[in-house]
């Protein structure tokens, strides 16, 4: 996964969660970020879709356990 993709997702997360101090790593999970609940998760996903110009399917999002999983989906979508 490219560092620039992680950087972009981190900036989106900072905007969605209203916290400029958020630092995402591949191992980061929702439990690691204050305010990351089901509603903010959907806001994050929609913001990523808009920023990267892609749409995720339910199967793309099923089983996301951490930021690395999310970045893998973004990277795979960007290739198609």
How many independent structural domains does the chain possess? 1
Q: Is the pLDDT of residue 16 over 80?
A: yes
Residues 6+ apart with CB under 8 A from 27: 66, 67, 68
Residue 1 has a pLDDT of: 53
The parent domain of residue 70 ranges over 3-79
CATH of the domain at 61: 1.10.1200.10
Residue 71, both tokens = 């970045």
DSSP 8-state code for residue 31: G
- Residues 14-43, mean pLDDT to the nearest whole number: 96
- Supply the pTM of this predicted model: 0.92
- Residues 42-66, mean pLDDT to the nearest whole number: 95
d(CA 74, CA 80): 10
The dihedral sign for the CA sequence 58, 36, 48, 63: negative
How far from the centroid of its chain's Cα atoms is residue 19's Cα?
Answer: 15
């Amino acid at each position: 996964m490219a560092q620039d993709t992680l950087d972009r997702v981190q900036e989106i997360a900072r905007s969605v969660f209203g916290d400029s101090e958020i630092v995402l790593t591949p191992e980061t999970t929702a439990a690691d970020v204050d305010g990351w609940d089901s509603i903010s998760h959907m806001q994050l996903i929609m913001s990523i879709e808009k920023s990267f110009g892609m749409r995720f399917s339910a199967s793309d999002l099923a089983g996301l356990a951490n930021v690395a999983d999310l970045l893998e989906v973004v990277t795979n979508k960007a290739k198609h």
